[in-house]
């Protein structure tokens, strides 16, 4: 065993040493002016610099200077940088004219080069600095909130996504199981980034990763060190669960992993907001399925227990629409019970509402569409596009405040049947078909029957 | 300690499992036709595929199919692919016209997108396959020998370099010390790739990395596993060495590392021909210097012991030129002694030739230039551009057959003085000035004196 | 990167598999009777078993059966075992007689063998089971509370210590730096085992190990996995500290490690009660000193900030003794102020008490002795025996409830001067001399002066 | 990734630093006299030393001084040390008398303590020095060759074995798979220590560990670093092999590990001669079987391909005995063919000898016994005692010079059937029964029939 692993400099520290040395030599007053103007000048210098060490030192200085600004100043600076280091429109004009004369591939290649905004090379050079990749991910986070009102930033964001897509190429991701033997530096980030069912401190974290029937897998990238990109939490069970409460209960009794037949993906969290638009989740689930099958051959069912974040809003809109062809008058009366905060605990109300909500939820997934014609629910789009099947709707799935607010407590199971994912994916992506179990389709059909049954539906004059 | 680390699947194996599964589902006859046409069809399919697993499976099939072809077939296929997946010239034409009308950044961004040849996206997708990065590096090697006569391949090569530059961004490289505790998988590659002073088997490898006064450092990249990108061999000594023989002698006595004052970089080898044009060497030396300074604070001198690969050819050309203003008649007579294969071992000849060669070598570095106006020696260009100083010329440096052939046995020391590298770099890159020690300049000046002394020089008044 | 390191069986798991298999074959009813009698029978069987797998299985069964008993039952069982598997007194008698006849070394060797109680071989065999070492450490903990009243257990404890001393031979210990990148399994044990200044949860743990000016080093042993044996906490500072509060303050500002001149060992905790009597602390501090010197050459001072656990009790005894030659009447009046719980916060009382306590504390260390003639303070014995020097007494060092209770807030610094530890150790161990700074000796001398000054002392001529 | 793992001091180096420091302080002339007398004085000093650092320094000095002696001097010194630091016979006499009076356990415990030769404590202290364990293993090697003629050394050897048995307790061993990713430091030792089928350099080593159908597992111990204790080589095949040649052939085609049904243990090597008498092999095979079953569930047969080292010598003795009841006259005539060196390559001779040797070999295993009544073959004793079954005798198994010399080319397969090992072990160890296949028993019976058939077999007509 090595004596003091922590005493060895990481490559970043050595790079920092190189950079610090280069900086000391290359210019006197990196910190003299840390204002935006000065930083823009440094960026200009960086683009023309050919020495490696000096280039790294300049990058580091800019990133540190940037970090010292407050958010509005950072955004303002990025916006100015986006404009100043855009493509050279004059040169591009000339090159475009030449291309139009020649129309050959050489000219096209030249066009490609000239059309690239100088910002991209700048970002590449920032990335040479120690910690550069992480700094760029956070820089893009800064942009995200401001692109709507600033076209230059919007274009700049495109540069970030373009480069991130290349750097975070799926071939470079590393799947890692996170458990109680994982370093605390990574574990604290899991606590911080869990976005679906919040982890309340180290004791709860331990309950999620230490028992034999719990797993957590993350994608890491070598350049981000102990920052996970995305992670998924898994419960090993003996049946498809219908509610999240029992899965997370502090006092539940774990089972032996070898006795499990079902793997439940109950939480998927993107950890880096700055990497939005660079997709990993799709592959993560499939790799984890493979990994679990290898380790536990008795597993036969891979499913999720997922929230339905768009349901309550959709239902509210439907209810507000007197001409709704979805909510029959009788259902509307029943839904009034939702106003009682405590309904899931009152047996009669619960029975009525379960019967009322199931067909509506089935309809929500199968037939409701957004104005752009897409399935409304973002979680549904993710799993269906991923090749999963909507397997079951659980009316009393999540009684937490968040669960009640976004979906009146509904949760669903998406099923990953590896023999079907390719076909399901094709059906959803190619033909817009939502693949579901027969049971879900039956629930959806009952909407039609309800209208048929409703006396008021006949020639329905008023509704 | 883990029981059988080797039993765990690497991420590549899991990816392969995912890919194999995807493939089985996605199409029937991946191996039916492995001819070039079939592979081109698969590539077309790959570009339109949106499912992750299927996409990986397709990439894997194409890479395997490619691998099964022989070199001419591989090049032919790449050439066809380069043409077929080039930029969409018609669309680009249209976009260029729109840009010329609008001349705004939006249109420029659009132009950037359309100008990108479809090949680039194809390469990115190949890279998703397990082992994809390595396969692409080898694919580029296949291209390298053929670009001269095939413009499509030349353009394609540009795509490789563009993507490699992004993927092998210096921020992603990992410096690692290679020693006798390093896994054999990496060590065997060091033996294979050493390009300057060949390593003759495991015993010699051990002599290069195991003694306390020897070091070997390599850059690795996470996506290439145990394939080093570049590595440098270092000897720790008490003075700047003038010949390679004693450094590599099997029977030398090692010294204690803590007693060393000088670190000698005596071999730098690029391990991946397919990564030519993606520069790492510059940074490698500087990081190793930092690392050694940290570990051994007594080190005060960082130098190379380098070959002079272009000297003999240049001298031959000068000798062949009767009007040479470099080789005085007397020198020419002395150089005739070079014809005796054994001259370094005959004291008289050696003395004469040493005196004759030193001024010529100094001139070769300081004043001789290629037709494009550059310093002739590639090794000199590398170290001078890197900020080193040409410190000393050693006439009897390398008596091996290769050393005698390329430089009549000359070797040189380039000195890395960290307080001067920035200035030296600037002088060389910005002002084309070769920074040398006073001694080397003195040697160079003696050429002028020789001509002054020569009787034949008398009537020549101006020189 | 390996996919799921946690999925690989540790050697323990494989051993368990071997053991389980062996057990299944070897006997039917391991769990049939888990009572003490049954377990004693299994132990008998274990001693006569020659097959490896069966032997491991038997050990495992016994250890599990033992674990299932409650503490009184465990102690009872161990006591019976101690008696039953003691030395064979009849055989020993015979062997002793033979020895007395022959008096040669052969007979002595035979005596050594026969005198060994069968318990020792039993413990060795228990240790073959997976997790056996840890189980034995806990078994000895069970004994520790009961040896006083049970001579058989006392003898048995000697067997444990004998074997532990061999297994935990210092050559087998591994020094490891514990920081925020350490696996959580180890970190949680640090929280649990810290015995000097309790760690209140993960946030405080982080403050102790993550800032650049904090260190924690532990000794581990391969057979105990992630169970630390002993650990020391270190603060890097710019001067010798006089109070623990500022060192542990949540809101303090860390300094750069490279700026530190002083390393302060402010907490040393034995983590395994069951290993009492097997000493590690001595070596730990010296190794950590070496390690810190190597990493941070600017460190010039290595000191502790230590509690004085025996002071308050000793002072109480002295006060209760009207004939005390230590507490002069005037001092006695001043000490009455200690009764005011809040005295450290009242300036006048604090000044008076500081002046009163310093000489008494100095006397406590230098001259007070236990009935067996030893220095009273256990922490002092540890550090003085270790070669440290008592450097300074800090009257307001630890205002916590525990600190006030055990030492009226006093803390002391022991200084580790590597050029003196051998001599200091020799002085203390060989000549019973407490090595201190001149300042401490001055304080001690003032006791004598006090008595000289005291009116009441006048008539007392020689004493 | 860490920059230069190799730059971190191991615990040994730090200990060495501690030791060097201690030594410098503790005495002046460690190296003054390195003769045996001086070293004995140091040993005396070591036993009375109480300071940790000084104690380590003394140990180190003694071990270095020892190392500098030549073998005869080392043995001489150990012999003197064995005598000087034996048990205190006078004290032991007294203690024995007291014990005989009291006959209680207290007196027995005291006897145990006094009977321990001082050598044991000395060895324990040597073990504190960095590298001490390894030095002691080599020290015992030095003794091994000399114990026969020196009773003091014989007793001393007992001390080594006693301590090694404790330190190398099976609970502390680590099973590790050795493959081509293993550090070269370990691999070179595999080459050096392979004792059954020599490994001729790195290329052959690679053929033994790198192909998918080859495995090598070793036991390591934390205190011995990269020195393996014992290792086993495994071939994965589709049937029980009958000859070693094809298994080791350089040009064989590997199979997919997943296709294998049989694991063949074809070489087991003890790597540390100094650990003779501390048994590991037994457990190693069982753990490897478990490990392989886990990794490759299709494996159904675990077997060896083993040499028969004692057969040729036994056969020679039988032949030399005219009254042999094993070699019938006809068989004796046939065995004469063995004199032709080339017999395995001549079909007629081979057929005859195969038929002649098979029954004799079967008899050799089943009925032949040494003068002490044991099975003659040491390899057979190892595997049979381990619970394996003698499954098959292969007459043309090993045509190497060694194979022909020791067993006329015979090899055998021992079968490890995990459901039978306990019973087989019991049968062999408890009842001296050699468990074999029916086939082997049939061969053995034919010896009897041969005698029955022979005319010389008194009155027995023709059969």
Any idea what the CATH number is for the domain that residue B64 is in? 1.20.140.90
Show Cβ contacts of residue A442 under 8 Å, excluding neighbours closer than 6 positions.
A362
What is the Cα–Cα distance from A256 to A237, expressed in whole angstroms?
9
Split into its structural domains, chain B has a count of: 3
What is the Cα–Cα distance from B73 to B65, expressed in whole angstroms?
11
Residue in D with minimal Cα distance to C163:
D166
Nearest beta carbon to residue C425 from set D51, D108, D152: D51
Mark whether B280 and B350 lie in a shared domain.
no
pLDDT reported for residue D276: 87
| Beta-bridge mates of residue D415 | D303, D389
Mark whether A232 and A367 lie in a shared domain.
no
How confident is the prediction for chain A on average, in pLDDT?
86
Mark whether A59 and A101 lie in a shared domain.
yes
Question: CB distance D2–A5 less than 8 Å?
Answer: yes
Residue A244 lies in a domain: no
Mark whether C278 and C331 lie in a shared domain.
no
Nearest beta carbon to residue C2 from set B1, B3, B8: B8
Map tokens 């003195």 to a residue: B442
- Are the C-beta atoms of D53 and C416 separated by less than 8 Å? no
Residue C446 binned pLDDT confidence (cut-offs 50, 70, 90) = confident
Residue D80 lies in a domain: yes
Distance of CA D401 to the CA centre of its chain: 22
Q: How far is C303 from chain D (nearest CA, A)?
A: 17
Nearest beta carbon to residue A3 from set D3, D4, D10: D10
Question: CB distance D184–B206 less than 8 Å?
Answer: yes
pLDDT in tens, C370-393: 998 999 999 999 999 888 999 999
Mark whether C19 and C59 lie in a shared domain.
yes
Percentage of residues in chain A having pLDDT higher than 90: 63
pLDDT reported for residue C26: 39
Show Cβ contacts of residue A225 under 8 Å, excluding neighbours closer than 6 positions.
A134
Per-residue pLDDT at A48 exceeds 70? yes
Question: CB distance A4–C182 less than 8 Å?
Answer: no
Residue C255 lies in a domain: yes
Domain that holds residue A353: 307-453
Chain C residue numbers touching B2 (CB-CB < 8 A): 5, 8, 10
H or E element, residue D307: strand D306-307
Residue C311 binned pLDDT confidence (cut-offs 50, 70, 90) = very high
Mark whether C161 and C178 lie in a shared domain.
no
How confident is the prediction for chain B on average, in pLDDT?
86
Mark whether D16 and D151 lie in a shared domain.
yes
pLDDT reported for residue C454: 55
Average pLDDT of C144-173?
Answer: 88
- Report the CATH number that the domain containing residue C197 is assigned in CATH: 3.40.630.180
Q: Is the ipTM of this complex over 0.85?
A: no
Per-residue pLDDT at C462 exceeds 60? no
Residue A185: CA count within 13 A, CB half-sphere: 13
Average pLDDT of D434-460?
Answer: 76
Residue A323 lies in a domain: yes
What is the Cα–Cα distance from A186 to A220, expressed in whole angstroms?
10
Chain A residue numbers touching B99 (CB-CB < 8 A): 92-93, 96
Among D84, D91, D71, which Cα is nearest to D155's? D84
Average pLDDT of C245-265?
Answer: 95
Per-residue pLDDT at A112 exceeds 70? yes
Which of A95, A103, A112, A126 has the highest number of chain B CBs within 10 A, making it the mutation to test binding with B?
A: A112
- Are the C-beta atoms of D268 and D218 separated by less than 8 Å? no
Residue C206 lies in a domain: no
What is the Cα–Cα distance from D142 to D76, expressed in whole angstroms?
10
pTM across the whole model: 0.82
- Are the C-beta atoms of B375 and B381 separated by less than 8 Å? yes
Residue C25 binned pLDDT confidence (cut-offs 50, 70, 90) = very low
H or E element, residue D24: helix D11-26
Residue D301 lies in a domain: no
Burial call C431-452: b when 16+ CB within 10 Å, e when fewer: eeebbbeeebeebbebbeebbe
Question: CB distance B96–A99 less than 8 Å?
Answer: yes
| Chains contacting chain B through 3 or more C-beta pairs under 8 A | A, C, D
Chain C residue numbers touching D137 (CB-CB < 8 A): none
Residue A324 binned pLDDT confidence (cut-offs 50, 70, 90) = confident
H or E element, residue A134: helix A132-144
pLDDT reported for residue B13: 43
Mark whether C154 and C224 lie in a shared domain.
no
pLDDT reported for residue B454: 55
Which of A196-205, A433-442, C422-431 has the lowest average pLDDT?
C422-431
Average pLDDT of D327-353?
Answer: 89
Nearest beta carbon to residue A290 from set B14, B174, B425: B14
pLDDT reported for residue B28: 33
pLDDT reported for residue A20: 46
Mark whether C118 and C25 lie in a shared domain.
yes
pLDDT reported for residue B189: 96
The larger pLDDT score, comparing residue B70 to residue C147, is at: B70
Percentage of residues in chain C having pLDDT higher than 90: 63
Chain A residue numbers touching D14 (CB-CB < 8 A): 3
* Residues of A engaging D, defined by a Cβ cutoff of 8 Å: 1-5, 7-11, 14, 222
Other beta carbons less than 10 A from residue B410's beta carbon: 26
- Report the CATH number that the domain containing residue C323 is assigned in CATH: 3.40.630.150
What is the Cα–Cα distance from C294 to C296, expressed in whole angstroms?
6
Which of B115, B156, B220 has the highest number of chain A CBs within 10 A, making it the mutation to test binding with A?
A: B115
pLDDT reported for residue C295: 87
pLDDT reported for residue A425: 85
pLDDT reported for residue B453: 63
pLDDT in tens, C120-155: 999 999 998 888 999 999 999 999 988 888 888 999
Task: Report which DSSP code applies to D326.
Answer: S
Residue in C with minimal Cα distance to B296:
C294
What is the Cα–Cα distance from A23 to A29, expressed in whole angstroms?
9
* Residues of B engaging C, defined by a Cβ cutoff of 8 Å: 1-5, 7-11, 13-14, 222
pLDDT reported for residue A452: 67
What is the Cα–Cα distance from D335 to D309, expressed in whole angstroms?
18
Q: How many CB pairs under 8 A join C and D?
A: 207
| Beta-bridge mates of residue B175 | B219
What is the Cα–Cα distance from B160 to B82, expressed in whole angstroms?
11
Nearest beta carbon to residue C2 from set B3, B5, B222: B5
Residue C28 binned pLDDT confidence (cut-offs 50, 70, 90) = very low
Residue A109 lies in a domain: yes
Q: How far is B308 from chain A (nearest CA, A)?
A: 24
* Residues of A engaging C, defined by a Cβ cutoff of 8 Å: 1, 3-7, 174-177, 179-185, 187, 201-202, 206, 217, 220, 226, 291, 295
| Beta-bridge mates of residue C431 | none
pLDDT in tens, D198-250: 999 999 999 999 999 999 999 999 889 899 999 999 999 999 999 999 999 99
Nearest beta carbon to residue D115 from set C100, C115, C172: C115
pLDDT reported for residue D240: 97
Residue in B with minimal Cα distance to C13:
B3
pLDDT reported for residue A211: 95
Q: How far is B222 from chain A (nearest CA, A)?
A: 7
Mark whether A163 and A180 lie in a shared domain.
no
Q: How many CB pairs under 8 A join A and D?
A: 29
How confident is the prediction for chain C on average, in pLDDT?
86
DSSP string, A308-336: -TTHHHHHHHHHH-TT-SSS-HHHHHHHG
pLDDT reported for residue D304: 97
H or E element, residue B177: strand B174-177
* Residues of C engaging B, defined by a Cβ cutoff of 8 Å: 1-5, 7-11, 13-14, 222
pLDDT reported for residue B140: 96
pLDDT reported for residue C15: 46
Question: Strand, coil or helix: what is A213?
Answer: coil
Mark whether C401 and C276 lie in a shared domain.
no
pLDDT reported for residue D89: 92
Show Cβ contacts of residue C197 under 8 Å, excluding neighbours closer than 6 positions.
C244, C248, C266, C267
Per-residue pLDDT at C47 exceeds 50? yes
* Residues of D engaging A, defined by a Cβ cutoff of 8 Å: 1-5, 7-11, 14, 222
Residue A420 binned pLDDT confidence (cut-offs 50, 70, 90) = confident
pLDDT in tens, B373-387: 999 999 999 999 888
pLDDT in tens, C67-86: 999 999 999 999 999 999 99
The larger pLDDT score, comparing residue C155 to residue C3, is at: C155
Which of C16, C96, C217, C420 has the highest number of chain D CBs within 10 A, making it the mutation to test binding with D?
A: C96
Residue D134 lies in a domain: yes
Which of C1, C3, C226 has the highest number of chain A CBs within 10 A, making it the mutation to test binding with A?
A: C3
What is the Cα–Cα distance from B25 to C9, expressed in whole angstroms?
33
| Beta-bridge mates of residue D118 | none
Chain A residue numbers touching C295 (CB-CB < 8 A): 4, 7
Average pLDDT of C30-51?
Answer: 76
Average pLDDT of B99-109?
Answer: 91
pLDDT in tens, A268-310: 998 999 998 887 777 888 889 989 998 898 999 999 999 999 9
Which of A2, A108, A125 has the highest number of chain B CBs within 10 A, making it the mutation to test binding with B?
A: A108
Nearest beta carbon to residue D7 from set B177, B187, B206: B177
Mark whether D161 and D280 lie in a shared domain.
no
Nearest beta carbon to residue D183 from set B181, B201, B291: B181
Nearest beta carbon to residue B9 from set C3, C14, C222: C3
pLDDT in tens, B400-412: 999 999 999 999 9
Show Cβ contacts of residue C443 under 8 Å, excluding neighbours closer than 6 positions.
C358, C359, C361, C362, C363, C393
Distance of CA A273 to the CA centre of its chain: 7
Per-residue pLDDT at A29 exceeds 70? no
What is the Cα–Cα distance from A396 to B81, expressed in whole angstroms?
55
Residue in C with minimal Cα distance to B225:
C1
């Amino acid at each position: 065993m090595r004596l003091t692993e922590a005493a060895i400099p990481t490559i970043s520290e050595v790079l920092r040493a190189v950079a610090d040395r280069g900086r000391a030599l290359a210019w006197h007053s990196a910190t003299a002016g840390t204002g935006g103007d000065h930083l823009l000048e440094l960026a200009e210098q960086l683009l023309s610099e050919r020495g490696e060490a000096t280039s790294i030192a300049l990058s580091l200085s800019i990133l540190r200077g940037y970090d010292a600004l407050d958010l509005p100043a950072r955004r303002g600076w990025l916006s100015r940088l986006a404009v100043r280091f855009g493509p050279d429109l004059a040169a591009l004009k000339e090159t475009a004219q030449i291309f139009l004369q020649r129309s050959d591939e050489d000219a096209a290649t030249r066009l490609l080069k000239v059309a690239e905004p100088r910002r991209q090379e700048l970002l590449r050079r920032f990335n040479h600095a120690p910690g550069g990749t992480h700094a760029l991910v956070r820089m893009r986070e800064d942009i995200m909130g401001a692109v709507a009102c600033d076209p230059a930033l919007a274009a700049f964001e495109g540069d970030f996504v373009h480069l991130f897509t290349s750097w975070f190429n799926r071939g470079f991701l590393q799947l890692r199981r996170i458990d109680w033997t994982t370093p605390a530096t990574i574990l604290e980030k899991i606590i911080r980034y869990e976005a679906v069912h919040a982890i309340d401190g180290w004791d709860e974290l331990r309950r999620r990763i230490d028992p034999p029937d719990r797993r957590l897998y993350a994608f890491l990238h070598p350049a981000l060190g102990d920052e996970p990109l995305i992670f998924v939490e898994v419960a090993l069970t003996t049946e498809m669960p219908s509610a999240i409460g029992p899965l997370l209960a502090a006092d539940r009794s774990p089972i032996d992993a070898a006795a499990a037949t079902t793997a439940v993906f109950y939480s998927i969290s993107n950890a880096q907001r700055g990497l939005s638009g660079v997709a990993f989740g799709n592959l993560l689930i499939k790799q984890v399925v493979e990994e679990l099958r290898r380790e536990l051959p008795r597993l036969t069912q891979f499913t999720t227990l997922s929230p339905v974040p768009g349901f309550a809003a959709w239902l509210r809109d439907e209810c507000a629409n007197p001409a709704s062809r979805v909510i029959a008058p009788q259902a509307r009366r029943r839904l009034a019970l939702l106003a009682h905060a405590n309904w899931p605990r009152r047996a009669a109300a619960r029975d009525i509402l379960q019967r009322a909500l199931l067909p509506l939820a089935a309809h929500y997934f199968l037939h409701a569409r957004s104005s752009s014609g897409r399935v409304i629910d973002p979680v549904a789009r993710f799993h269906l596009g991923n090749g999963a099947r909507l397997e079951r709707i659980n009316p009393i799935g999540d009684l937490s405040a968040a669960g009640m607010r976004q979906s009146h407590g509904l949760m669903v199971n998406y099923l990953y049947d590896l023999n079907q994912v390719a076909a399901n994916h094709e059906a959803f992506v190619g033909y817009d078909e939502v693949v579901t179990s027969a049971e879900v389709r039956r629930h959806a059909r009952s909407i039609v029957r309800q209208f048929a049954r409703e006396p008021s539906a006949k020639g329905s004059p008023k509704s």
